[in-house]
Amino acid sequence: MTSARILVVDDEPQIRRVMRATLVARGYMVSTARNGEEALDKVREERFDLVLLDINMPGMGGMETCRIIRSQSDIPIVILSIRNAEKEKVEALDAGADDYVTKPFSMPELLARIRAALRRAPLMTSGTVDLLNLGPTEINFAARRVTVAGEEVRLTPKEFDLLRYFASNPDQPIPHTKLLQAVWGPDYGEEVEYLRVFINQLRKKIEPDPSHPAYLLTEPWVGYRLNIPKP
């Protein structure tokens, strides 16, 4: 998808120049912003396919910028940060980020993450269903629409892709690595914290009691399983 439009948000002019030149050379269309406030203005005024967002900026930081963008848009967001602690990654994913890349990073690594973020659909199996009912929750995969007790619930693209993969493999324990590679891409497999965050968010949206899930079940030491209620 080399015609994708990417917004690069970083307060360092040198980083913005290098990233713009590199991405343009790969066929991407690139705009830049110096801070969170400028990024929000650009997202409201233009259509982008991806945001590369530095987390450490003066003024409005990347975390708050991410939360605001996610509250208004489903655009993929990749956080760039010098911090490598799991706590920071979880906070960014909770804020709505799709991925988290630690500085310094190699350009091939970043390009791979960009390709993964731009890919919307996970790898499917032959068991894909069009409509799934989980108690009061109805998931229409064709329309990408979820309702709980008749009220529409908004899922992010990654949440929806994760749920769709579960639905194509019902009642089967799915290992962490398989889930990550199916939904994020073949370069993933160790980012178990990603799954913890996204499963937690999904449970809050579709489970009657998220603290005691009935549908998205944890398989200890293995991964997760979608439990389909028996008629």
What does the pLDDT look like over 160-201, one tens digit per residue? 889 999 998 999 999 999 999 999 988 899 999 999 999 999
**219-228: per-residue pLDDT in tens?**
999 999 999 8
Whether the CA torsion 65, 68, 72, 74 is positive or negative: it is positive
Look up the pTM and report it: 0.86
Confidence check: pLDDT of 127 > 70: no
- Among the listed residues 22, 45, 19, the one whose alpha carbon sits nearest the alpha carbon of residue 32: 19
- Percent of the chain past pLDDT 70, that is, above it, reads 94
Q: How far apart are CA 190 and CA 66, in angstroms?
A: 23
Contact status, residue 138 vs residue 163, Cβ threshold 8 Å: no
131-226 maps to CATH 1.10.10.10: yes
* pLDDT the model gives residue 58: 87
Confidence check: pLDDT of 126 > 50: no
Instruction: Identify the CATH assignment for 5-118 out of 3.20.20.70, 3.30.460.10, 3.40.50.300, 3.40.50.2300.
Output: 3.40.50.2300
Confidence check: pLDDT of 125 > 50: no
Outline where 140-213 has alpha helix (H).
157-168, 176-183, 192-206
Structural Rg of the chain based on CA atoms: 18
More confident residue, 2 or 84: 84
